Amino acid sequence: MTTILLKNGRLIDPSQQLDRVTNVLLKDEIVASLDAQETYADLVIDVTGKIIAPGLIDMHVQLREPGWEEDETIASGAAAAIAGGFTSIACIPNTEPPLDSPASIEYVRHKAARADKCNVFVIACASSGRKGEQLSEIGTLVEAGAVGFSDASRAITNPELLRRALEYTQMFDKPVLNRPELIELTHNGVMHDGMVSLVLGLAPIPAAAEDVMAARDICLCETTGGRLHLMSVSSSGTVEILRRAKARGVRTTAEIHPCNFSLTDEALREFDPNCKVNPPLRSADHVAACIAGLKDGTIDVISSGHAPRASQKKMHEMTDAPFGMVSLETTLGLTATKLVQPGHLTWSQAIDKLSTTPARILGVPKGTLMVGADADVTIIDPDLPWTVDTSQFASRSSNCPFDGWKLIGKATNVIVGGVVKL
Amino acid sequence: MIELPPELESPPVPWTRRHLLDLESLSAAEITTALDVAQRFKDATRDCKDRLPTLAGVTSVNLFFEDSTRTRTSFSLAARRLGADNIEFSASSSSVSKGETLLDTAKTIESMQIDAMVVRHRSPGAPQMLAKNLDCCVINAGDGPHEHPTQGLLDILTIRQHRGTIAGLTVALVGDIAHSRTARSNIWGLQKLGAHVIVCGPSTLVSKQWEKLGVEVSHDLDDIVARCDVLNLLRIQFERQYTRPFPSVREYALLYAMNRERMEQAKEDILIMAPGPINRGVEVTPEVADGSQSVILHQVNNGLAVRMAALYLVTKAPR
């Protein structure tokens, strides 16, 4: 029997509405006590002044393996997750081949087990081959362990297919995760359609491309009664559409990535390909609307949107560089610095969006420190100043515009299943 | 070869830039300096016919990833007229298609003791990327729809030669503003020197957003033509458009071509300009393009002087 005592920390567990200073005892793989006396433990970690949080869960990660191992592998991605404070991640299926068969899910789970870092959940393809033509074998994939269905960064464009997916997944109570993007409005776009794109002459991506699809997706969610999760939300219009839908009780949730509340399109002025992401960095009014949406609960989840790209791919001019940035190791720090420090979110709200709610959406028994729950814990030092240094990233890639940024707040210890990983 | 005018022995103040990437970041004083230097080169070389020894020992490279006639030719002639060596680098439309990145291509060329690189690329920011990563001077010869600073300078120089000043003039840029690097460079340069700029074209190619740059937005050429001192007629950039932003070329010409009827509404001394290449019958009819008010070929000639000035200023700037 192995015991770990987390001594004198501020326990914040949104699943039980707890926020108090206490000692937490982990025994083997589970949470044993939230009010442990200072007794003998195999390992005592003094967490005075730090937050004891249910292990953070990132529900939108590109692991790139199989197929794009030059960007990331399952092992390096899982290591980056630990470094960033996450005890669980869910990978989206933009791999080659795409994750649309039990064998491919088994492959990811096997590689993740061998890496032995964080828990890795699989979001499988919603359509066979990610082609957007017919449903993947959703029932079989659920049996193999899939926790959700998505065509990853490719939007499900065919409304009939999305309707069927939202209907069919209800049998298994799994969410459909869709990226709201109308490609006819974005086609060769590089950055947010606004004054900066007008001045720089970079092909624009209008916010309406997101809003139109978000509205369509929500309509289909409402008519089918299915469970829809909007990936990568970034525009004020989408936030407003979501807010109204939620007021009607539609079963839609949504997530945002830290870059979309930390940077505006002004960052593109230096023509840094690391700032080329999709959805694009938007103008300040959109960022403000997204922060308001995070504040009032319209946006449920903060996920990294981790999109590693090997440096040779990003060393191109703006029109040719691929979209994406590595984010696993900066998500917590940016959330703390850009949302908690300025008072937009309390720590309890931030942890809810980084752990409890993603666990609920994916239907995984995580995101809580209830006695008897899995001993997945993230210890956060909320006041720790640190500097982002991409050369020290555990990720294989370093496509990150935050290099050199000074952030406040970092995970200092990460425990997965009762085992110290950081 | 003729004697170098003494005032061109060392770079004039104020000029400290080793790159010419855009007109947005240049001050009015810097733009005026560039125009003055170009004018002096033009005067000193009898319309750029004579050679000067000014840049002897300097090597410039033309690195063009997009087609070009006048810009490319004038940059090579400008280098030679200043006594510099000039090398042409032939590149296909994209370095990526050859498997080499733009940066690697540029670094390879730079390693052959190159002093200045003149870059044209379809991606906005490509010259900025090279300037950041190379030691040599970089001149932007057009980066997608972003900027074309030497085109802006030569347009402004042409206006100044005919009008004596820029301040107080009304200059209209007509056509495909959205996709035009010439429009952007002209807007920055002209406004800094005190001109009133009108951008005119179909609403799909000139949105009201442009007003935030300080320009007047118009969709009706007939409405503005009588007020203009200068009309700069921009080409429709079909190659940069994903879906055609107007119903037909015929309808475009009907609404926006500068023709004889519109010339009758214009001021008598209006200047008709076009950065070229011109599509006769689309943005301008032949009788206007070749008419008495057209200064299109003056622009081309000034291009040589402006490119001499650009090469001179950046290579002589303090490191």
pTM given for the model = 0.94
3-state class (DSSP) for residue B66? coil
CA angle, A305 then A308 then A311, to 5° = 150
Mean pLDDT of chain A, nearest integer: 97
**Residue B315: is its pLDDT beyond 80?**
yes
The percentage of chain B sitting over the pLDDT mark of 90, rounded to a whole number, equals: 79
Q: Are A378 and A310 in contact (CB under 8 A)?
A: no
Q: Are A24 and A11 in contact (CB under 8 A)?
A: yes
Q: Chain B 144-173, CB below 8 Å of chain A: which residues?
A: 144-147
pLDDT digits (tens, 9 = 90+) for B246-261: 999 999 999 999 999 9
**Least confident piece of the model among A142-146, A291-295, B279-283:** B279-283
pLDDT of amino acid A187: 85
Residue type, A338: K
- CB of A270 within 8 Å of a chain B CB? The answer is yes
Q: Are A354 and A106 in contact (CB under 8 A)?
A: no
Q: For residue A312, which residues of chain B lie inside 8 Å, CB to CB? A: 101
Q: Which of B129, B134, B237, B240 to mutate to test the interface with A (most CBs of A within 10 A)?
A: B129
**Dihedral sign of CA atoms A368, A369, A373, A376 in order:** positive
Task: Classify residue A337 by its DSSP letter.
Answer: I
Contact A201 B143 (CB under 8 A): yes
pLDDT of amino acid B102: 87
Distances (CA, A) of A45 to A26, A178, A379, A384: 11, 41, 10, 17
Q: Closest partner residue to A201 among B103, B184, B209, by Cβ?
A: B184
3-state class (DSSP) for residue A214? helix
Residues 6+ apart with CB under 8 A from A270: B128
- CB of A320 within 8 Å of a chain B CB? The answer is yes
pLDDT of amino acid B94: 46
B/e letters for A86-114, b = 16+ CB within 10 Å, e = fewer, are bbbbbbbbbbeebbbbbebbebbbebbee
Q: Tokens 């590109």 correspond to what residue?
A: A62
- CB of B123 within 8 Å of a chain A CB? The answer is yes
- CB of A188 within 8 Å of a chain B CB? The answer is yes
pLDDT digits (tens, 9 = 90+) for A313-339: 998 999 999 999 999 999 999 999 999
- CB of B142 within 8 Å of a chain A CB? The answer is no
Contact A318 B125 (CB under 8 A): yes
pLDDT digits (tens, 9 = 90+) for A152-211: 999 999 999 999 999 999 999 999 999 999 999 998 899 999 999 999 999 999 999 999
Q: What is the enclosing helix (H) or strand (E) of B182?
A: helix B181-192
Query: For residue B198, what are the β-bridge partners?
Result: B172, B216
CB pairs under 8 A between A and B: 57
Contact B124 A316 (CB under 8 A): no
Q: What is the mean pLDDT of residues B186-208?
A: 97
Contact B101 A202 (CB under 8 A): no
Q: Are B35 and B156 in contact (CB under 8 A)?
A: yes
3-state class (DSSP) for residue A136? coil
Q: How far is CA A397 from the centre of its chain?
A: 17
User: From the CA of A303, how many Å to the nearest CA of chain B?
Assistant: 30
**Residue B41: is its pLDDT beyond 80?**
yes
Tokens of B175: 């056509």
